[in-house]
Chain A
Amino acid sequence: MNTAMTTGALRLRRVPGKYLPVVVTGCLLVAMFATGGIRYEGFATGQVILNVFIDNAFLLVVAVGMTFVILTGGIDLSVGSVVALSTMIAASLMEGPGWPPYLVVPLVLAVGSGLGLVMGYIVHAFDIQPFIVTLAGMFLARGLCYTIGTDSIPITDPTFTVFAQTRIDLFADLWISPSVLLAVAVVVVAAYVLHYTRFGRTVYATGGNEQSALLMGLPVGRTKIAVYTISGFCSALGGVLLSFYMLSGYGLHAVGMELDAIAAVVIGGTLLTGGSGFLLGTVLGVLVLGLIQTIISFEGTLSSWWTKIFIGMLLFVFIVLQRLFSARSRR
């Protein structure tokens, strides 16, 4: 009884250390929301937060995949292009030959996963920096978009349009889109996998110290291939969600989205060197990015480039914070 209580107390005391970056991001989010609520009329409603989810469901899904990759100490620059390629494949197959969505969606997911698998395999088998491999993947996927078509292809498939327009009513006039449900499901499953499976542990161990993970007999190579495959899958799923949102396929969709995803993960407190971070942080990171956009649009007079400026400043703050944090824990 007594020992149980002391260990309980000790566990509580530790919480700030490991979760500190996530807690900081959470506080920031609350502060931003409060500021918005004070400055603008009609800001402090639940729907504003839900709209952030609705507008960024695809980014959230992509950032989940990115979190896996970054936790192993890697990076995936191809995600934005894979998202665009996914919208392109989906739109062209449904509009051209008129394939049904239940064939198109699995195909898109398979293509995304396959691309990730190949990149992961190259990273592992040839021991090449993920930066350069996924950079190649980024060009490849973006280029493939234009072999399908150079113009935007509108999606008129009824299943897609219904999915895009459906509102799921919550209590008190609040609503979300089906995409949000999907994104949340992805987050929950991913969080479980990361936290409660041997695979998840290996992801953290690989990012924390790859050499020691190898000397413990952990399947480092398999894990690295798997995280890029997961990231490819998430990008493809993100692409499907984006085509619900945009109702079109276009080679210029999601330009630079890989950087948004990386920014969300880093702002969420995940160490870019790997081994430390949480999916909850990534969710908060996406919300922070989305809320910045919302505030800019409420402000009205500021151009949308201010979003980038704020994201830039936030990133600076967070990477410095992380450096201080990791320097302390290494000592």
Chain B
Amino acid sequence: MTEHILRMSGITKTFPGVKALQDVNLSVRQGEIHAICGENGAGKSTLMKVLSGVYPYGEYDGEITFEGKRCEFGGIRDSEHAGIVIIHQELALSPQLSIAENIFLGNERAKRGLIDWNRTNYEAAELMKRVGLRENPTTPISDIGVGKQQLVEIAKALSKRVKLLILDEPTAALNDDDSAHLLDLLRELRDEGITCVIISHKLNEVTAISDAVTIIRDGRTIETLDMATDHVTEDRIIAGMVGRALDNRYPPHEPTIGEEALRIEDWTVYSPSQPDRKVVDGASLTLRRGEIVGLAGLMGAGRTELAMSVFGRTYGVHISGKIFKNGKPIEIRNVQDAITHGIAYATEDRKRYGLNLIEDIKRNISAAGLKGLAKRGWVNENQEFRVAEQFHQSMNIKAPSVDSIVGKLSGGNQQKVVLSKWILTEPDVLILDEPTRGIDVGAKYEIYTIINRLADEGKAVLVISSELPELLGLCDRIYTLSEGRITGEVPRREATQESLMHLMTKGQE
């Protein structure tokens, strides 16, 4: 049996109020490709940050042994010195610098303090040959695609004499050809003796290239499977990823489903940063009055992109497709159009995109629907105060008054402000993107109750969520999205976490 290059044992990492990792164990053998699987928020990335020293020794409990030695990394430099290199999902390259400069960034080939450009470019070319990157070393990073940038990152890792390479969602942003090339490269590196840990949502890739899989759920290690001896299938991994019971965290709701409110047909969106990559690919979906519809998908599946492109083209380029409101085709060119057509979108990142944190509750609630509170441009402040006070009561926003600054409220109360703001615009269709992210359990129940109430008032609600139990507990019907395409539409009664996860990880055939 080959020896273990890395052992992490009993890793526990706590953030204020949350245990992100609890007693996690991970053992990686020398020269293998080891996959880590888990749902969004299971703790995979946190674990890798502990390993690479982003969270320095002392901020977590537990023990890391690398090549037989105990490690106490104080930062990324320490872990890189030991031979552990992490490549994050968002690549850490400097776009204006050349490939060669990026490869040796922070590790420059210098002679007496001056950069030796010949050596830099020569060695860069050698490394680029190893990763199969055919470009001139002096080409700026911004001139090459994401797939090639990923290769530059790997070349950079090789330049640091990497022994353990960690890749976080390496293929999430890549097209099929680039993904295939990257996976081949990882196999080659393995044959050269470099150990790889990859975090991936794409289970077909995991089963195709890895030698072992560790499954993490809710911050705990569930199991480690050996690909060769355990006959691991995608089903087997999914069972490990989701296996938990639904409890009574959702208010009961009997839907009264009415007419079709919004229909989207053949909706295609391209990425603004890579205009040749489809982020949403021919998606079609229908929302009906009084119905709560879920949209499930893993990170990078295109959920938010779909929602935002529909909501006044706030994301994406070359958007094509049709939108029907109450059966009639409509044109939505900007947010104002969307609001006029009775569509509201509550963002997944309310602090950055949903609220004016330095402003008070009253003005945040009135911001989007100010038209209804103003006559010829002049705001009726008394009416504004009354309306805000109504929401303060009806949404149970816990704040001393509607003059409280929104930035000081808890996540749950901030979300209630966001919902109030959109309800004031009197929408027929509400798109709620991760409505309970970062909210404690009690407030979640309140948000669910509000969502149910909105549906009962005859509004169509689309809930985007990373938490499958939430979708199963709340929605009447669930769409699944994978790599930009709708891969399934399942009524609540027939949906299980396993069946959804299958559809969500379905790759392109």
Contact = CB atoms under 8 A, between A and B. Distances in A.
Interface stretch (B117-125, B179-187, B346-354, B500-508): B346-354
A217 interface: yes
Contacts of B314: 214-215
A197 B359 contact: no
Nearest to B404: A14
B401 A14 contact: yes
Interface string A187-226: 0000000001111110011001101111111110000000
A198 B379 contact: yes
B13 interface: no
B225 interface: no
B345 A198 contact: no
Nearest to A17: B405
A201 B380 CA distance: 12
Contacts of A204: 356, 359, 363
A196 B404 contact: no
A216 B366 CA distance: 10
**Is the interface on chain A under 10, 10 to 19, 20 to 34, or 35 or more residues?**
20 to 34
Nearest to A326: B358
Interface in B333-391: 334-336, 338-339, 345, 347, 352-360, 363, 366-368, 370-371, 374, 377-379, 381, 389
Contacts of B408: 329, 331
B358 A198 contact: no
- Chain A contact residues, majority secondary structure: helix
A331 B404 CA distance: 13
B363, B367, B368, B421, most chain A CB atoms within 10 A:
B367
Given A7-B401, A196-B379, A201 B358 contact: no
Contacts of B355: 209, 212
B132 interface: no
B339 A217 contact: yes
A209 B374 contact: no
B31 interface: no
B403 interface: yes
Given A198-B374, A211-B352, A214-B335, A14 B407 contact: no
The interface size bin for chain B is 35 or more
B312 interface: yes
A229 interface: no
Given A208-B358, A271-B358, A10 B403 contact: yes
Contacts of B339: 217
A13 B335 CA distance: 37
Nearest to B337: A217
Nearest to B421: A216
Given A197-B377, A329-B407, A215 B356 contact: no
B400 interface: yes
A275 interface: yes
A329 B401 contact: no
A281 B186 CA distance: 62
B363 A215 contact: no
Nearest to A219: B336
Contacts of A276: 358-359
A205 B379 contact: no
A10 B403 CA distance: 9
A217 B368 contact: yes
Contacts of B371: 198
Nearest to B400: A10
A212 B374 CA distance: 21
A205 B359 contact: yes
A13 B401 CA distance: 10
Interface of B: 311-312, 314, 334-336, 338-339, 345, 347, 352-360, 363, 366-368, 370-371, 374, 377-379, 381, 389, 400-401, 403-405, 407-408, 421
13 contacts: A14-B404, A196-B378, A196-B379, A198-B371, A211-B353, A214-B335, A215-B311, A215-B314, A217-B312, A329-B357, A330-B357, A330-B358, A330-B407
Nearest first, the 7 closest Cβ-Cβ pairs linking A and B are A208-B356, A217-B335, A216-B368, A10-B401, A217-B336, A209-B356, A217-B339
